[in-house]
Amino acid sequence: MRNRQLKWLWGRLAQLQDMDLTRDELLMRLGSARSKVPTAWRLVQVRVADRGANFTYRLDRKKLKQSRRREGRYLLRTNLTETDPVKLWQYYTLKSDLAIRPIFHQDGQRIEAHVFIAFLAYCLYVTLGRQLKALAPGLTARSALEKFAAMQMVDVHIPTTDARELQLTRYTQPEPELTLLLEQLNLTLPAQPPPKITAAQAALV
């Protein structure tokens, strides 16, 4: 991908050199090329003349060599004082498990609340994983949540003889596979009176 972007950028710079452009037009088109292939742009040194619409460019072979040498490696930068790279990597992967980002809040308290709720969710996620390890080995917390996601909360509307309507909230009946998982985890769903709704019936509504 880097080589493809670099080839495109090299050709684009050659095109711009042959164009009759004003200085402002040149700067705008160089900026557009930079935003399109930022990775390749870092490997090329572009110098625009102080006056006029002339510029030169050359490949920064030192940076290209460094980028090739670093391929397949991951660089983490942190302000933590922990020196054990294994722990630092565990902290970093924790961020993806928490699913904290993106954060659209701008108020400090709302950001803290967002992170707090995400952390609580992560605690529940880890707790579920530990229960699965003891009671349902081989099943991950993520796969268990996917099975639970098949259950839905639906509202059942029942008309009455006096032109009114009853609204009953029901959860869909678990499929046999989910029922087995609930039994393994020693979980019991709250009882609900008829009508009982299946996921297939809910999909038809």
Higher pLDDT, 136 or 94: 136
Among 35-39, 70-74, 131-135, 197-201, the minimum mean pLDDT is found in 70-74
Higher pLDDT, 7 or 96: 7
Beta carbons of 172 and 199 less than 8 angstroms apart: yes
> How much is the pLDDT for 33?
92
| 38: helix, strand or coil | helix
Task: Give CA–CA dist 33/46, Å, rounded.
Answer: 12
pLDDT at 9 over 90: yes
Which pLDDT band, with edges at 50, 70 and 90, does 204 fall under? Answer: low
Beta carbons of 44 and 60 less than 8 angstroms apart: yes
- pLDDT tens for 101-116 read 555 656 677 778 877 8
Which pLDDT band, with edges at 50, 70 and 90, does 199 fall under? Answer: confident
Task: Give CA–CA dist 18/39, Å, rounded.
Answer: 24
Any idea how long the chain is? 205
Task: Give CA–CA dist 65/140, Å, rounded.
Answer: 42
Tokens for 135, please give them: 């009671």
Beta carbons of 189 and 151 less than 8 angstroms apart: no
Which pLDDT band, with edges at 50, 70 and 90, does 22 fall under? Answer: very high
Beta carbons of 168 and 154 less than 8 angstroms apart: no
pLDDT at 69 over 70: yes
Higher pLDDT, 184 or 91: 184
> Does the global pTM surpass 0.75?
no
- pLDDT tens for 128-177 read 888 888 888 888 888 888 888 888 888 888 888 888 988 888 888 888 88
- Mean pLDDT (the chain, rounded): 82
Q: What is the 3-state secondary structure (H, E, C) of 47-110?
A: EECCCCCCEEEEECHHHHHHHHHCCCCCCCCCCCCCCCHHHHHHHHHHHHHHCCCCCCCCCHHH
Burial class (CB in 10 A: 0-12, 13-18, 19+), 137: exposed
> How much is the pLDDT for 1?
72
Q: At 193, which helix (H) or strand (E)?
A: none
Residue ranges per domain, the chain?
2-69, 85-141, 151-204
Tokens for 75, please give them: 């660089």
> How much is the pLDDT for 112?
80
